[in-house]
Structures are given as structure tokens and as C-alpha cells.
Amino acid sequence: MHSNSSFRGPGSHDPAQSHGSPDNMAAPGSGLPWPRRFPSLLLALPLLLIIGAMGAARGLGSEAGSAAADAAHPAGTCGCGSPQRPGTAAHRYSREANVAEPASAERPVLTSQMAHIPAGVFTMGTDEPQIKQDGEGPARRVRINSFYMDLYEVSNAEFERFVNSTGYVTEAEKFGDSFVFDSMLSDQVKSDIHQAVAAAPWWLPVKGANWRHPEGPDSSILHRRDHPVLHVSWNDAVAYCTWAGKRLPTEAEWEYSCRGGLENRLFPWGNKLQPKGQHYANIWQGEFPVSNTGEDGYQGTAPVTAFPPNGYGLYNIVGNAWEWTSDWWTVHHSADETLDPKGPPSGSDRVKKGGSYMCHKSYCYRYRCAARSQNTPDSSASNLGFRCAADRLPDT
């Protein structure tokens, strides 16, 4: 196990990169450095003293740190995101995750539909960033060649077919734990947890939490087969896409798809969050992280087919679950026009887009098309999933 690695939670942020948003919480991929296994002596100390001391001694990072900044600046970080695992641990499994499947491996039965996304030019990013430290700007013209994008986030049922066909084991399963939003956990599971992410205590490392058991060993996907698969790392997503004859979308492709043919709009459907009072995405209603009224019908994830699609026919492109892209993370972008940009050639974190069911404007205003966040490639959490893209329709 990775006992002494620095940890970053889902949707994690650097304190300097925060905007106070719930979907970038400092647990999975939070960017908070801390040991994954506390010495036994520390376990005897009160939890709050532990996380306080750890934060002071090692510094806050990613979303965890951003949550701390939020205390002073309410519009700051995004603790609703995902904590990240240490970068060093990522390398241990990334090679295994990306090994090509043998030619004899059973090909997938492709049930998910894909939308043809036409070539075009669009304005990527914004000159009116809501979270400046995330690198949302500047607005720049980007040309995109035509490609295909999954209509839906990859579901539990689809991911199960992949696992059954290949025997693939996710990184959360290999690590033995993953991050889960505390309000989703049973009292029994919480009673066994003695760690938390500093400044974002709602992100808890849960032993046995993985895609089959999203809230720990006493949970199941039995009645959520049509919900997005969760607790998948970037490496896991790449492995699935490769098996399916697809790939992850670039950040530019993802944002172009998100906008659905609209120009300079906040959301995939326009600038108003709830046109005519109707919900168009699964996000947090109420006060984060205290109470989620579930006004949109869901307190956790929703089926991948829920809510109206955007102009390109894509469902849940914002909200529900964060979605991995292929790009390495950077906050520096040229204002020059580009053709099919693919991000920097290297980095430590990968870009994720779209926000999740944990996003609320007061804390994680990242369910906008221009919004973005990051996680290490081996990070996983209970609000992190993906969808695939392709240059051409895969053979079925």
C-alpha cells in the first residue's frame, strides 16, 4: 500500500486555485498532502487535531486546500470535487492499467450510442472566469474536426461488461480504498473511519469503496445499473475506452460538445440554470455540505438517461458525475486560435470537466461548460466517472 504518500482528493484544488465549490472536495484528488495511513499514536488523538496538525505541517493542496481558502473566501475552492492520490502511487498502477488487451480478448457488445459531433469553430474558455485560478480563461477560438461522443456517461452495467470480459481490476480495488462523500455512508462504515481530508471533512477514505460498492462494502450497484460508474481513475477510464475501441475526449472536444452548438453560454442549454423552472442537471440543492434537498429528484447520482439532452443529444454532460478528459492539466492557455488542441505534453494531473451531483454555486460552481478541475491519474471518488469519444464509430 501507499502508506506515506501525499494525498489529493476528488476535485482537489490548490488553495490558490479554489473557488469554494462542493464538487471539488479535498478528498479523492483533493491535492492535499497527507499520509494515507496514520501512525497508531496519532489515531489516539482527536480527529480534528490530527487533520489540523497534518494540514499545518504538510500544507493544503488541491481541493482540500481550496476548501480552506473558502473559509476566508466563500467563493473559493471546490470541496465537492474529488480528492487525489499522490502522484507517486499513480505510477505503480498506470502501466498495468494501460497494457493492451490480448487479441483474443472478447470484444465489447456496444450498447451505448454515440452522437456525431460536427466540425466547427467555437469559443473555448471565458474572459469572465468564475474561478480564475482554475485557468478558465482566456476565451480563445478553437477549431474542432468532427468526431463522435457517447450520448451517456459510462454506466455501471457497461463497465461491468468490460470487467467480466477482461478481468480488469480498478485502481480503487488495488489500493483497497477510495473517497466517499460522508453523507452517503452508513453509520457502521463511518464508525471505522479515523481519517479525513483537512478543510473538507466530508471526504472520507473508505476501505472497500469501489465501482461495485460506491459507498463502501455494505453498498451495491444492484439497483443502479443505469447510473454512471464511479470510483474510476483516469487509467481505468483509458482501459475501458481502449477495450471499447474508443478514447477519452480532449478537453476542447468535451467543452465543444458540452456547448451543444451554443456560443458563449454558461450551461449546455443556455444561461439560465432552470429554464421555466425545469431542472436540466443533477447538482446540489440546499446548503452544501449540510443539506441536499434533492429538489431535482436525486441526492446522489441519477440514471445516465435522466434530464433533457443538449443540442448535440448528450445527456448529463454537466452534473451527475465528473468526467475525465485526455488532457494534462495546465492553467496557462494561449489566446491564439488553435486546431484540435490536446493540452500540454506532460503533467502531474489530468483535466476533468462537468462537475457532479455535489456541485453548488456557493461552493463548487463547476457545472458550467468553461469550468474545469483536475486529479492525479490514479485518483478515484464517489463523484468521478467518464464518457468516451471516438474518431469514427467503433465496430460492433
In 114-186, which ranges are E strands? 114-117, 120-124, 140-144, 147-150, 177-181
Grid cell, residue 361, equals 454555486
What's residue 82's pLDDT? 73
What's residue 396's pLDDT? 60
Question: 42-71 pLDDT, tens per residue?
Answer: 222 233 322 333 232 222 233 333 333 333
pTM of the model: 0.78
CA distance 146 to 374: 26
Segment 358-384 shows an average pLDDT of 96
Of 286 and 38, which is predicted with more confidence? 286
Q: What CATH number should be reported for the domain whose range is 109-166+233-390? A: 3.90.1580.10
Amino acid at 211: W
Question: Which of 11, 5, 14 is CA-nearest to residue 34?
Answer: 5
| Count of H-run helices and E-run strands, the chain | 9, 16
Backbone torsions φ then ψ of 74, nearest 5 degrees: -50, -30
Amino acid at 207: K
What's residue 201's pLDDT? 87
What's residue 315's pLDDT? 98
Question: 145-174 pLDDT, tens per residue?
Answer: 999 999 999 999 999 999 999 999 999 999
Q: For the chain, how many residues are written?
A: 396
Segment 226-242 shows an average pLDDT of 98
Domain-wise residue ranges, the chain = 109-166+233-390
What's residue 352's pLDDT? 98
Lowest-pLDDT range, 1-10, 226-235, 367-376? 1-10
